């Protein structure tokens, strides 16, 4: 895993302050938020910056108001859920998601978007008609990589990184499967402009999923969200 982390593009200056724009900030470009309460939000932001997007680290309701879309990172879903509450983000976030803001949850972020999470001792945002089975791969195999063919992603398969990952079940009728493991289990879905992946593209050098998400943001706002597309 360390190797994967070291392979991340180092182009952007990463700080913890909010409202830090990409060096290529485009005037009028939609701001893409990354929920920055806990987890691997920095890695998401680095990739968004590498694609030329303007980003905001979202920690307060004011931050949320300033963005056109939101990525919910991987991390610890119980912790992130608690921090969403204590930061006052819960109600505004549910409202924005219900109003059609594009959002993408990776792993813990996907768990928070799910309507149902068996055994989870707290509420989720509950905006996607999926059941997220947490830690679906048991204790023995905490992390693994598997190549995945993902619908909407052209070119070679994505080398997907799974870390204490969930799988998605009980899919609602509007939920579209984007990727399955070789054993058939569902690990990437979308429902309208909501995307959930059980794995972590932000921990790889493959920017294609982020580029796809930025395309959605551009379509939903009518203004391109990225200065360039994935190569």
Q: Which of 33, 74, 201, 218 binds ligand GLN (CB under 6 A)?
A: 74
For ligand GLN, the closer CB: 44 or 59: 44
If one asks whether residue 24 binds ligand GLN (CB under 6 A), the answer comes out as no
Q: Which residues form the catalytic set?
A: 107, 200, 202
If one asks whether residue 44 binds ligand GLN (CB under 6 A), the answer comes out as no
Task: Convert residues 153-192 into a mask of x (bound to ligand GLN by CB under 6 A) and - (unbound).
Answer: ----------xx----------------------------
Looking at 18-26, 54-62, 75-83, 123-131, which segment touches ligand GLN (CB under 6 A)? 75-83
For ligand GLN, the closer CB: 163 or 226: 163
Task: Convert residues 90-129 into a mask of x (bound to ligand GLN by CB under 6 A) and - (unbound).
Answer: -----------------xx--x------------------
Give CA 69 to chain center in angstroms. Answer: 10
For ligand GLN, the closer CB: 59 or 164: 164
Q: Using CB atoms within 10 Å of the CB of residue 120, give its burial: 0 to 12 exposed, 13 to 18 middle, 19+ buried.
A: middle
Shortest Å distance, C-beta 158 to ligand GLN: 16
Task: Convert residues 122-141 into a mask of x (bound to ligand GLN by CB under 6 A) and - (unbound).
Answer: ------------xx------
Shortest Å distance, C-beta 52 to ligand GLN: 26
Nearest to 72 by CA among 62, 59, 61, 88: 59
- How far is Cα 148 from Cα 230, in angstroms, rounded to an integer? 18
Q: Applying CB under 6 A, which residues contact ligand GLN?
A: 74-77, 107-108, 111, 134-135, 163-164
């Amino acid at each position: 895993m360390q190797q994967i982390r070291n392979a991340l593009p180092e182009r952007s200056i990463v700080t913890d302050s909010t409202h830090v724009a990409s060096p290529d900030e485009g005037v009028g470009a939609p701001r893409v938020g990354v929920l920055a309460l806990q987890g691997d939000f920095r890695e998401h932001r680095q990739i968004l910056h590498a694609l030329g997007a303007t980003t905001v680290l979202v920690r307060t309701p004011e931050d949320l108001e300033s963005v056109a879309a939101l990525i919910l990172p991987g991390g610890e879903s119980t912790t992130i859920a608690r921090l969403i509450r204590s930061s006052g983000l819960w109600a505004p976030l549910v409202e924005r998601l219900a109003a059609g803001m594009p959002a993408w949850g990776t792993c813990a972020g996907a768990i928070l978007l799910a309507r149902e999470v068996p055994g989870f001792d707290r509420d989720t945002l509950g905006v996607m008609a999926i059941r997220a089975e947490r830690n679906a791969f048991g204790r023995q195999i905490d992390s693994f990589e598997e190549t995945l063919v993902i619908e909407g992603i052209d070119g070679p398969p994505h080398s997907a990184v799974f870390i204490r990952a969930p799988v998605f079940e009980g899919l609602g009728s509007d939920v579209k499967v984007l990727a399955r493991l070789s054993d058939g289990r569902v690990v990437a879905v979308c429902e309208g402009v909501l995307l959930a992946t059980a794995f972590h593209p932000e921990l790889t050098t493959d920017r294609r999923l982020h580029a796809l998400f930025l395309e959605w943001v551009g379509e939903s706002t009518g203004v391109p969200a990225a200065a360039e597309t994935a190569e």
